[in-house]
Amino acid sequence: MNTILDEVDQKYRNLLVKTSVPDWVDPMLATLTSKRFSDENWIYERKLDGERCLAFKKNGHVKLLSRNRKDISDTYPEIVEALEKQKTPDFIIDGEIVAFQGDNTSFSKLQERIGIKNREEALKSKIKVYYYIFDLIYIENYLIEKLPLTLRKELLRKHLTYQDPLRYTEHIWKEGVKYYKEACRKGWEGVIAKRADSEYQHKRSTDWLKFKCVNEQEFVIIGYTPPKGSRIGLGAILVGYYDKDRLIYAGKVGTGFNRTLLIQLTRQLEALKQNTPATDDKTGEKNVTWVKPEIVVEVGFTEWTKTGKLRHPRLLGVRRDKDPRTVVKEIPEA
């Protein structure tokens, strides 16, 4: 019977590390860039707007963990079940869990599943989710993170079977600029460019680059204003980001809420009230209820103003997969 050693070329076998399945590995993160390029040494994947997920299978049991190590298995039980049915006994894979609005992935749509933590309730949900798998980190008895990316993807495609809700993340070679333009035309979030021979690094790396079609990033909620008219819960949220140890005010977000999110978010924020703002910046807002900076949200916007505030911001959803202290202003590398 063939083993993973038989499938890896002799020149790469010294890169394999024999070990039991780790309980955790930090995910590799892409770096935002303003460059758009085509290169025969790079591959290009669709950038998906969902929840990052590492799946660990050990002795037939699967656990899904977010990028900040939260167990999200009960939120996506159909994905757990599909992975437990895989013939490959032990593995660690990396991917993105998404929901669709039409032909495009929608983080706002996924919110209706992210809020569910009960397995039975999740199975009854009408929000269909899909796990787009793009990397293989461990298989059988070996960590394979130091193998070239394209070889890891080749093994990933071979050793798992793909039927909804599991999907293999396809890629193209070389034509990065053309693919980026196509992505923006189709309304995708963007493209991830990956160096074809790169190893899997447990940190943010320039071997993976984000070509974004739209401006969006995470922010920390620092306060909220009261509702007006028929609105319930809250009027708008005040958000910021960290610059080292300092929390910088980035602006007020008042659109993108639905009734369910307003109710849930207001309840969460009420439990985090504090008397003083977490930022030293002047916000210019009155009647603000200040909160501890513990809730991270995804916000879309058109641009940054000259004064460092968000122009036309809209709430996309609440993130549970990121530590608030890691939220910084995303500035594209030159």
Q: What would the pLDDT profile of 260-291 be if each residue is shown by its tens digit? A: 889 999 999 999 999 999 999 999 999 999 99
pLDDT tens digits, one per residue of 123-168: 999 999 999 999 999 999 999 999 999 999 999 999 999 999 999 9
Q: Strand 310-311 relative to strand 303-304: parallel, antiparallel, unpaired?
A: antiparallel
DSSP β-bridge partners for residue 211: 191
pLDDT-derived band at 39, boundaries 50, 70, 90: very high
- Which spans in the chain are helix H? 4-7, 77-84, 107-114, 119-124, 149-159, 176-185, 259-270
Report residue 281 as tokens. 């910046």
Q: What is the mean pLDDT of residues 315-327?
A: 92
Tell me: the pLDDT tens digits for 168-226?
A: 999 999 999 999 999 999 989 899 999 999 999 999 999 999 999 988 999 999 999 99
Alpha-carbon span 242 to 281, nearest angstrom: 12
pTM of the model: 0.87
pLDDT level of residue 5 (50, 70, 90 thresholds): confident
pLDDT for 112:
87
Q: Which residue has the tokens 């070329």?
A: 9
For the chain, the structural domain boundaries read 25-212, 215-326
Nearest to 65 by CA among 117, 11, 24: 24
pLDDT at 24 exceeding the cut of 60: yes
Angle at 156 between CA 154 and CA 161, to 5 degrees: 115
Write down the mean pLDDT value for the chain.
94
At 2 the pLDDT is: 67
CA distances in angstroms from 229 to 12, 235, 249, 287, 313, listed in the order given: 65, 9, 26, 16, 21
Percent of the chain at pLDDT > 70 equals 99
What pLDDT is recorded for position 91?
A: 97
CA separation for the pair 67, 203 (Å, rounded): 11
- As a whole-number percent, the residues of the chain with pLDDT over 90 amount to 87
* CATH T-level topology, domain 215-326: OB fold (Dihydrolipoamide Acetyltransferase, E2P) (2.40.50)
Domain 25-212 is of which CATH architecture?
Answer: 2-Layer Sandwich (3.30)
What tokens were used for 36?
Answer: 């758009």
* Three-point CA angle 98, 327, 66, nearest 5°: 35
Positions marked catalytic: 47
